[in-house]
Amino acid sequence: MFQFAKNHICPIGLDVNEDYAKMVQLENNGKGMRLVAGGIENRPAGVRPGSVDWQMWVIDAVKKLTANEKFRDRNIISAIPASQVFIDYIKTPQTKDEKGTKPDDAVISKIKQRLPFEPDNAVIKYIPTEDDNTVVIATEREKIDRLLAIFENADLQIKSIGIWPEALINCYVKFFGRRKADVQSVVLLLDIGTNCTNVVICRHKNLLFARSIPIGTSQMETISGDEITRLVTELTAYRRQLGLMYRNAQIERLLFISGQTVNKNIYTAIAKQMELPAHIGECLAAVEIPAGGEIERSENKSSWATAFGLSLSQE
């Protein structure tokens, strides 16, 4: 039976993207998870993503969101936007004893030639997984510094900077992977946004594979089936790569963790082409939403999976 600790206020999950800023704070009330507060601000059409104007917009957007008195504090957990994160896979380095090569140095040595930016300017996190594989996640230090400066100017208290794949896994484990059989099941999570699809393959809480594909609802809804096919082609390639990396990691089901935000015809077409049993994971249906809450299920047009998962990071 899934158990919740009592009366625990989670940090605010802040999901900042080129196109939006979303904030969510959840509370464990002893019976389940409850939405404390939440909101979204969309980027104005005239603001170019990544520009100085974009940075100023994020600061103003976050200040506007935190003006909501329902947020209990200003403690946040955020993540670098998926488009600014490099993800790759290596065999786990065999390190020497404590007088020899450090694990960090061994990982950097193996991955530095693949980085799309200077290794000296990289912040690298690595996650050992199954079958002697390691997931390496990196971003440029200046992008983290820029995000930290934005948060500081918005008067927020930064608890940590997480990574989006782990946020999606948090969301899956807490809400949709609660059966005993789910602990060993390999699941494909798709978080389909406006201009990208974030992909995670995991065995319950263990990350096996992650990618971000620059295809979203804007492309799939305006082009007659071609972009859906291209997305499935990418997913099929990832499926093959997974089979080469892991001896016993066959995808058993597909979970659309973006919930009800996407036209179901798109979900149906993807699931049919992938030939996988599929389900829709709606975060907002998994928590108690007080009457008059800022995020109404019937009006929800945006995926909250990353923001929810960030808030749940210390649950």
10-residue mean pLDDT profile of the chain (315 residues): values are: 63 94 92 90 92 94 89 93 95 67 78 92 94 96 94 93 96 95 96 94 97 93 81 97 96 96 93 96 90 57 91 87
How long, in residues, is the chain?
A: 315
Strand order in the sheet with 253-256: 206-213, 197-203, 186-192, 253-256, 278-280
pLDDT score, position 2? 46
pLDDT score, position 293? 58
pLDDT score, position 237? 98
Count of beta carbons in the 10 Å neighbourhood of residue 199: 22
Nearest to 258 by CA among 285, 239, 233, 219: 285
Stated pTM of the model: 0.92
Give CA 217 to chain center in angstroms: 17
β-partners of residue 190 are: 199, 256
Nearest to 203 by CA among 179, 226, 182, 224: 182
Query: Per the structure block, which two tokens stand in for 313?
Result: 């990071």
pLDDT score, position 28? 92
Query: Per the structure block, which two tokens stand in for 253?
Result: 């089901």
